Amino acid sequence: MSSEKQTNTASVIEVDAKRSKETGTASRSYTTSISSQEDKPREGVKGKFQDFIDGFRQFDVGELDPNLSDMERANVIAARSPLQRKLKSRHIQMIAIGGAIGTGLFVGSGSALSTGGPGSLIIAYFLIGSMIFATVQALGELSVAFPVAGSFLSLCSRFVSPAFGFVIAWNYAMQWLIVMPLELVAASLTIKYWNSSISSAAWVSIFYFGIMLINIFGVRGYGEVEFVLSAIKVIAVVGFSILGVILNCGGGPEGTYIGGKYFHDPGAFNHGFKGLCSVFVTAAFSFAGTELVGLASAETQNPEKTLPSATKQVFWRITLFYLVSLTIVGLLVPYTDPRLLSASSVDAAASPFVISIQNAGIKVLPSIFNAIILISVISVANSAVFACSRTIASLADQGFAPHFFGYIDRKGRPLFGIALSLTVGLLCFLSVSSKEGEAFTWLMALSGLSSICTWSIICLSHIRFRRAMKAQGRSTDELSFTSMSGVIGSWMGLILNILVLVAEFWIALFPVGGKPSAENFFQNYLNIVVNILLFVGYVLWKRRNAVLWLRADSIDLVTGRKDVDVDLVRQEKEAEKAFIRSKPWYYRMYRFWC
C-alpha cells in the first residue's frame, strides 16, 4: 500500500472515530488493517543484511488527529496495528487444544488431589472448565468482530471503561512478566531428575537464550514452536488416558484390579467443602493461558474462520485432557499417598500421573513424563514472552505505559515489550541464591489470581458489547460468529469467577489444616490487593478525567471493526445451516463441536 493511500485510510478512520464520538453510532464500518510499505527488492548479501537491519526499524502508523480523545486514539492505533498475520490455522488449532496443558495438570493436580480428594478434583475442574468454555466463546466473538492488537485488553477499555482496562492490562502484564523466570527455574529443577550435579544457572542460561532466539523470529517462531510442543503434550495426555484404563483393570507388570476402590477408601473427598474450595485455584492455574487464542487474533491469517473452530475445541480439551485424565488419576492414586506432597511443584515425583505409573511397576515411563513436564514448562515460558510483549505494547497504545513500549518494527515484533520481558526474565538467576524459595513464593503471589481476574473482565466485556449493540440498534445478524453460550454464558462465567475469588478469600484467611496468618493471606491474595491499588492509582492519576464506566450508547462499535455485508453474512449463515442439516447426524455433531 502506498504512503498516500495509507494516509487517506488513516484519515477515514479518524473521521469515523470522531463521528462515532459525536453521534454515539456510525453508519458505516471500515476495514482498518494496513500493511507496511514494501521495500524495493535488493540483491546480494549486502542487500539481505540491509533488509535484516531495516526489519528492526519502527513501523509508521501515520499521523493521528490531535483532537481525538485518549480512548479514540487507542482504538485507532489498535486497529492500525502492524502486527503481522503469520499464524496459520494449524498454529491456532494446536494452541487452542494443547496450549494451556502444563505443570498445573501434570504436577499441580497432585497437591489438589491430596487436599480435596478425587471427588473435589473432578467437581472443581468441571466447574472451572465450564466457565472457561463460556469465556473463550465470548472471547472468540469479540476477537472475530474486532481482530485488533491487544484483543481483550484494548476491548476492555472500549466496552467497560479505561479504568478497568488499565487494571486488567497491568494485571495481565504482571502475570506473564513473573511467569517467565518462574518457568525457567522450574525447567532447571526438572533437569535434576536426571542430573543434579550441574548448576541450575547453566540450565537456566540455555533455556533463557533459547526462548530469546525463538522470539527474535517473531510470531511465526512462536507459532511453530508451540505447534510442536502442544502436539507432544496432547499425545502424552491421550496416551496416558489409554494406559490409565489398562492399569485400572490390572494390566500393569505389578498391577492388580483397582476399579473404584480409592473412591471408597480413603474416600472421594478430603477436608469437606473447604477442600473443594482450595482446589478451585489449582484448577484455574491449570487453565491459565487459554485466552492466548484471543490475544493472537491480531496475528492470525484468517481469524473469522480460524478462531470459531479453535474456541469450540476448548470443549475437547476440558473433556478429554482434564476431566478424563483426572478421573483416571483419581481412580489410580489415593489422596493419602505421601508422594503427592513430598516434592516440589515441578518435580515429576510429585505428579499423580507418574505415581500411578510407578504403582503399576513400569520403569521407563517416569522419565518420559518428566520430559513431558520439561516440555510443558518451556512451552509456558515461550508463551509468557509472546503474551507479555503484546500486552506491554497494548498498554503503551492506550496511554497506560511509556510511549516507547509501543514500538513495533516492520516485521511485526514489539521489540521493547520483548526486551522488558527478557529483562525481568533475568530473575531466573535467583535460582542460585539461598533466598530463591522465598523470592519466588512472593513473585507467584503477585500473579496468583491473575487469570481469574482476566476471565472475569472478558465475560464483562462481552456483556457490555452486547448491551452496546442493543442500545445502538444493532443486531447479532451482522456478526459472522456468535458465542455458543451467548450472554447467559458470560453472566454465568462472571458470577462463577467472583464466587471463586470469594472462596479463595476464605481459604486465604483460614487455610486448610493451618492457622490464620497475615503471611498466608498475602501469599494467596496479594494479586487482588495489587489490583485494587492499581484501580485507586488510575483514579488519582486521571483525577477528573478518570472514566470509571462507559454508557452503552456511547461505546465505539466502529473503529477496528471488520467490514461486513450484513445481508451477505445472513445468507451465508442460512446456507451453512441448510448444508449441515442435509448431512448425517455424526457430521452435524462434529460441526457443532469443531
Joined together, the cell numbers standing for residue 298 give 491480531
For residue range 387-434, what is the model confidence (pLDDT) as tens digits? 888 888 888 888 888 888 888 877 777 888 889 999 998 888 877 777
Within 8 A by CB and 6+ apart from 127, the residues are: 280, 283, 496
pLDDT at 328: 93
Cα–Cα distances (Å) from 391 to 157, 415, 458, in that order, read 13, 12, 15
The span from the CA of 185 to the CA of 64, in Å, is: 43
For residue range 151-193, what is the model confidence (pLDDT) as tens digits? 788 889 889 999 999 999 999 998 888 888 888 887 887 887 7
For residue range 110-140, what is the model confidence (pLDDT) as tens digits? 888 988 999 999 999 888 888 888 898 898 8
SS3 of 562, please? coil
Q: How confident is the model at residue 487 (pLDDT cuts 50, 70, 90)?
A: very high
pLDDT at 492 over 90: yes
Joined together, the cell numbers standing for residue 4 give 498516500
pLDDT at 25 over 50: no
The span from the CA of 104 to the CA of 117, in Å, is: 16
Percent of the chain with pLDDT over 70: 78
Query: Among 53, 14, 7, 72, which residue's Cα sits nearest to residue 34?
Result: 7
Neighbour count for residue 522 (Cβ, 10 Å): 14
For residue range 294-303, what is the model confidence (pLDDT) as tens digits? 776 666 666 6
Please indicate whether residue 232 or residue 196 has the higher confidence score (pLDDT): 232
The span from the CA of 526 to the CA of 507, in Å, is: 13
pLDDT at 332: 92
Please report, as a single letter, which amino acid is at residue 232.
Answer: I
Identify the weakest region by mean pLDDT among 71-80, 336-345, 380-389, 434-443.
71-80
Q: How confident is the model at residue 334 (pLDDT cuts 50, 70, 90)?
A: very high
Which DSSP string do the residues of 232-248 spell out, in sequence order? HHHHHHHHHHHHHHHHH
Q: How confident is the model at residue 461 (pLDDT cuts 50, 70, 90)?
A: very high
Is residue 281 a contact partner of residue 504, using CB atoms and an 8 Å limit? yes
Please indicate whether residue 249 or residue 397 has the higher confidence score (pLDDT): 249
pLDDT at 66 over 80: no
In the chain, the domains with their CATH numbers are: 64-555 (1.20.1740.10)
Report the pLDDT averaged over residues 364-372. 84
The span from the CA of 275 to the CA of 396, in Å, is: 42
The span from the CA of 326 to the CA of 105, in Å, is: 8
Within 8 A by CB and 6+ apart from 532, the residues are: none
pLDDT at 306 over 50: yes
The span from the CA of 346 to the CA of 324, in Å, is: 22
Ranked by mean pLDDT, the top range of 252-256, 268-272, 407-411 is 268-272
pLDDT at 150: 65
pTM for this predicted structure? 0.81
The span from the CA of 7 to the CA of 209, in Å, is: 40
Joined together, the cell numbers standing for residue 275 give 477442600
Q: How confident is the model at residue 5 (pLDDT cuts 50, 70, 90)?
A: very low
pLDDT at 20 over 70: no
For residue range 504-533, what is the model confidence (pLDDT) as tens digits? 898 888 887 778 888 888 888 888 999 999
In SS3 terms, 314-340 reads as: HHHHHHHHHHHHHHHHHHHCCCCCHHH
Joined together, the cell numbers standing for residue 301 give 491469517
What sections of 192-265 are H helices per DSSP? 200-216, 219-248, 261-262
Report the pLDDT averaged over residues 278-286. 82
The span from the CA of 516 to the CA of 319, in Å, is: 36
Please report, as a single letter, which amino acid is at residue 364.
Answer: V
Partner residues linked to 300 by β-bridges: 87
Joined together, the cell numbers standing for residue 549 give 464506566
* Residue 437 phi, psi (nearest 5): -60, -45
Joined together, the cell numbers standing for residue 156 give 476492555
Mean of the per-residue pLDDT values of the chain: 78
Cα–Cα distances (Å) from 460 to 138, 143, 519, in that order, read 9, 14, 32
pLDDT at 69: 57
pLDDT at 276 over 80: yes
Identify the weakest region by mean pLDDT among 238-252, 365-379, 550-564.
550-564
pLDDT at 22 over 50: no
SS3 of 87, please? strand
pLDDT at 532: 93
Neighbour count for residue 8 (Cβ, 10 Å): 13
Dihedral over alpha carbons 104, 108, 113, 114 (to 10 degrees): -170
pLDDT at 535: 94
pLDDT at 561: 67
pLDDT at 33: 39
pLDDT at 9: 40
Q: How confident is the model at residue 458 (pLDDT cuts 50, 70, 90)?
A: very high
pLDDT at 279: 87
* Residue 388 phi, psi (nearest 5): -65, -45
